[in-house]
Amino acid sequence: RSRLLGPNVTRLPDASAARGEIALTIDDGPDPAVTPAVLDLLDRHGAKASFFCIAARAATQPALTREILARGHCVQNHSHVHRHNFAMLGPRGYTAELERAQQVLADITGRRPHCFRAPAGLRNPFLDPVLHRLGLHLVSWTRRGFDTRERAPQRVLERLTRDLAAGDILLLHDGHAATTAAGRPVLLEVLPPLLERCRAVGLRCVTLTAALPPRRTASDA
């Protein structure tokens, strides 16, 4: 969540927070076994989310990726292949990875993402100039549930709701999700009580498209 390497959005803008909004962000999908159930739960609770999709995965699930938008959510850039050495890339590597993801996601959905999340949140000083040129906000999070490794839904829920406040950006995963002892994706167990908690304290889940204005590109400067 550091800002030493360039701008990094870890909370929604003040105006959004003043409206009682938070952002629920869901990474590493789309997953054909998990994402449809996530969409149904969000519909049931009247909540909107931002899906940071791995473009190569989205290319294998184009109809599901479009369904995310059709349900009123947004699709954002989580790189093309989610490389484990992402933080070791240089300018050419970042340009190739991000531009390819932008093009794939735009071809599928008809919309170019305006937010990017680095794999595992890791990066180096070469990333921000590429983001600036592509008009992409780097978006991290206020708090995360560690739901790719934590198998106890209650612990994930406690991490996400401790001191929960307007303007928070929450991180969960529909791809690479841990499962409970019963074999159910942790995300599907956490979402209902999380969304109920948000409703009870007067917080509204909105998309990053709604809350965050576009980032000016290098050509706008």
Residue 3 has pLDDT above 70, yes or no: no
Residue 221 has pLDDT above 60, yes or no: no
Residue 125 has pLDDT above 70, yes or no: yes
Q: Is residue 2 part of a domain?
A: no
**pLDDT at residue 121 in the model:** 86
**pLDDT at residue 1 in the model:** 61
Cα separation, 198 vs 139, whole angstroms: 21
**pLDDT at residue 208 in the model:** 98
Confidence of residue 220 (pLDDT cuts 50, 70, 90): low
Neighbours of 190 (CB within 10 A): 24
Calculate the average pLDDT of the chain.
Answer: 95
Task: Output 140-143 pairs: Cβ under 8 A, ≥24 positions apart.
Answer: 140/1, 140/8, 140/9, 140/10, 140/169, 141/1, 141/10, 141/25, 141/169, 141/170, 141/171, 142/10, 142/11, 142/167, 142/168, 142/169, 142/170, 143/168, 143/170, 143/171
**pLDDT at residue 217 in the model:** 72
160-208 tens-digit pLDDT:
999 999 999 999 999 999 999 999 999 999 999 999 999 999 999 999 9
Residue pair 167/21 in contact (Cβ under 8 Å)? The answer is yes
Q: Is residue 5 part of a domain?
A: no
- Residue given tokens 């949140």 in the structure block: 121
Tokens of 77: 């850039």
Q: Is residue 186 part of a domain?
A: yes
**pLDDT at residue 53 in the model:** 98
**pLDDT at residue 28 in the model:** 98
Q: Is residue 1 part of a domain?
A: no
Q: Is residue 4 part of a domain?
A: no
Q: Is residue 21 part of a domain?
A: yes
DSSP state of 60: H
Q: What angle do CA 120, 122, 125 make, to 5 degrees?
A: 160
Q: Give me the mean pLDDT over the 99-117 stretch.
A: 98
Confidence of residue 120 (pLDDT cuts 50, 70, 90): confident
**pLDDT at residue 216 in the model:** 78
30-77 tens-digit pLDDT:
999 999 999 999 999 999 999 999 999 999 999 999 999 999 999 999
Residue 2 has pLDDT above 80, yes or no: no
SS3 content of the chain, % helix, strand, coil (to 5): 45, 15, 40
CATH number of the domain that residue 64 is part of: 3.20.20.370
Cα separation, 27 vs 17, whole angstroms: 22
Of 105, 110, 112, 117, nearest in space to 60 by CA: 105
Q: Give me the mean pLDDT over the 85-97 stretch.
A: 95
Q: Is residue 174 part of a domain?
A: yes
The number of distinct structural domains making up the chain is 1
Domain containing 45: what range? 14-220
Tokens of 113: 């993402």
Q: What percent of the chain has pLDDT over 70?
A: 96
